[in-house]
Structure 1
């Protein structure tokens, strides 16, 4: 029995949220992002017609579309609206995976017949738009890859069904850029040897692809042929991530303690980015030698940037450590998490900082989380 997998994606989610609260932003070129040194976090379709794209430097975006209205962005609003959509889907869907703040997978396998599943999906899409006011695009097919590509081809504000007999005829004419695994480097590599459509890619011997692009070649070949057995993972909202360190000997060496919690902050921030979370609450915990335990927390703008989180952690430590007694334990917790990526919160950061994070994360992913780090916490990280 073929699976019935739905991919749902809220159209220009940040833009749609801003337009819900301010109708004056409707039907105009709109950019969500930071100041002149920042990057575009999201943009409306009106702005895209001028060549504006997400992650583009703001200066370039405004050169392309000088008449655009720029809004800094409100992660509190976006998180709230995402939670509302999640609740609407959870009330109806048998199995739901929340892939990001604005993207969902549903497994409807076994629900009536295939046409019945598509009819049910249309009804759910209409319910989401009615209850939230947010436009949504979606596609139903036999696996996550085909349904995701189908959603992309349905945007904006569209939907489609791609049954098993129609998978190859749907995929084959499309550019390989449409495939989730194909970034710019892979596209350039494949294009140089004449592989520009998914149909052409599907006909390349899998061994050749593996030699060209490594271990991902097999997965890429499978997906080009409409094969993807990745399951829809049931959704459960993670509440927090944390680290603690109990010292071998109680200490008053504040230099060591601060280096340690700086390292903790960097490691936890890296974990947030890997798992695509943003945090809005930072909690520092200390335990004195007499076992008295104290915590202090503060709210922050949603982020997964360790340079921001480390600064806040050190400020909280200075406020909480007041007795000048020996410390037995220090701990750090990031809580009130929402799905998202660091790029979504770059309302003030510049492209150089983005590139630095991407480079450091790439090194950590390849060689381990301790392979590179900030000097202040590197020697004392846990």
Structure 2
């Protein structure tokens, strides 16, 4: 038996734990690309491994900033998108991913809040610790979503009462509303959570699942994206019931089709992912068009420092480095290089700067987005280093590790290279 737990309007609810005046009014948390990482001003920033939609791993607290300070740019324009909004705001038509401008047109009295990422991550970690004490196995699916497996721990007739008590415990200890879906398989429990919201519990026994799901539109099932929805519509498949009637079709699509069919039908979907193996690590930022290549190159170096911190925290040795440059007018350039050496910050910064120089194919265009990624993580003893570079690389790695310790303790910006600095 599986429980899916989803914090309701998490970012908005998190702010309400600190400010009672935010209850029962339309509020929303808005986000902007975190461009202050490119500033030379001193600020303490740390990193979290939590992830999810609209979640930053770079923990800066913008929550104390006023609407004007955070959402209004130097030209007086309102910037940003809605990352989370309360149900009171949704009643006006405000939605996630909507621009702040549009949200304010729909709801003029909307209270806009700047994000407080340290608070979100702190509450998420507290919830995880609470759930670990209450259930034998849990999986953190995102910053505000968890699965719990209580198979063998609770009987079917006990699980609903358990969920209500758990929901109350979460509210008593963390002041956070949470919705819980319960089913005999993992992804069906996630589907059912949508019918438990807001702030409720929904349990569908195994013998009632087929009847419950047969008329649910395919877009509501987790993992069916727009492209796949369009593909299925070509076969006149519109509901989960339609999927169940087309076993042969889905099995003809091999693993992706078989996995989806089994999840919808509650077949062999009974294992939690207790640890997720990362296949790549990346970081990127969007900004208004910049033509100055010295400034763009400086930003590549800064992003490289942040990515280096994430790589060393993950304790991996990537052998592939990639960059994507997006210009005005939706023009893009991307490329990668393969290396065979011990990862260290000095060489990584140099490699990424060169990768940018070599692939800046439109030097007269303004750049509006930079993204850098590392992948192809080497496993111990599965590749050989260049013996002539090994000793030097090892010393550079040791220096990187010492710097890593300082940044972990005092913040990621405690040590910067001279090439990262400029006069703000």
Q: What is the TM-score of this pair, normalised by structure 1? A: 0.64
1:20 to 2:17 alignment? yes
List per-residue Cα deviations over 1:219-270 (Å, max 9, x = no partner): 2222232324241133699992245699999xxxx8985225897x933599
Residue of structure 2 aligned with 1:30, choices 19, 22, 27? 27
How far apart are 1:81 and its partner, in Å? 0.8
1:223 to 2:263 alignment? yes
How far apart are 1:30 and its partner, in Å? 1.4
CA contact (8 A) 2:318 2:375 kept: no
Pair 1:268–1:63, CA change in 2 (3 A):
farther
How far apart, CA to CA, are the structure 2 residues paired with 1:293 and 1:9? 42
Q: How many residues align?
A: 287
How far apart are 1:79 and its partner, in Å? 0.7
Please report the RMSD computed on the Cα atoms of aligned residues, expressed in angstroms: 3.9
Residue of structure 1 aligned with 2:118, choices 76, 80, 91? 76
Task: Give the aligned partner of residue 316 of structure 1.
Answer: 416
CA contact (8 A) 2:187 2:222 kept: yes
Q: What is the TM-score of this pair, normalised by structure 2? A: 0.58
CA contact (8 A) 2:187 2:269 kept: no
Pair 1:55–1:210, CA change in 2 (3 A):
farther
Task: Give the aligned partner of residue 54 of structure 1.
Answer: 96
CA contact (8 A) 2:180 2:200 kept: yes
**Structure 1: runs of 5+ lacking an equivalent:** 272-285, 303-308, 321-382
Residue of structure 2 aligned with 1:103, choices 136, 139, 145? 145
CA contact (8 A) 1:144 1:228 kept: no
Q: Secondary structure at the match of 1:174?
A: coil
**Structure 2: runs of 5+ lacking an equivalent:** 32-70, 72-77, 279-309, 320-338, 356-370, 378-391
Task: Give the aligned partner of residue 40 of structure 2.
Answer: none
How far apart are 1:293 and its partner, in Å? 3.4
How far apart are 1:86 and its partner, in Å? 1.1
How far apart, CA to CA, are the structure 2 residues paired with 1:43 and 1:13? 9
Residue of structure 1 aligned with 2:399, choices 277, 293, 314? 293
How far apart are 1:199 and its partner, in Å? 1.1
Residue of structure 1 aligned with 2:87, choices 45, 51, 74? 45
Task: Give the aligned partner of residue 133 of structure 2.
Answer: 91
How far apart, CA to CA, are the structure 2 residues paired with 1:245 and 1:142? 39
How far apart, CA to CA, are the structure 1 residues paired with 2:396 and 2:120? 44
Instruction: Please give the residue correspondences for 1:300-379 in structure 2 after superposition, counting only pairs within 5 Å.
Output: 316-318=416-418
CA contact (8 A) 1:242 1:268 kept: no
CA contact (8 A) 1:145 1:228 kept: no
How far apart are 1:108 and its partner, in Å? 0.6
1:241 to 2:314 alignment? yes
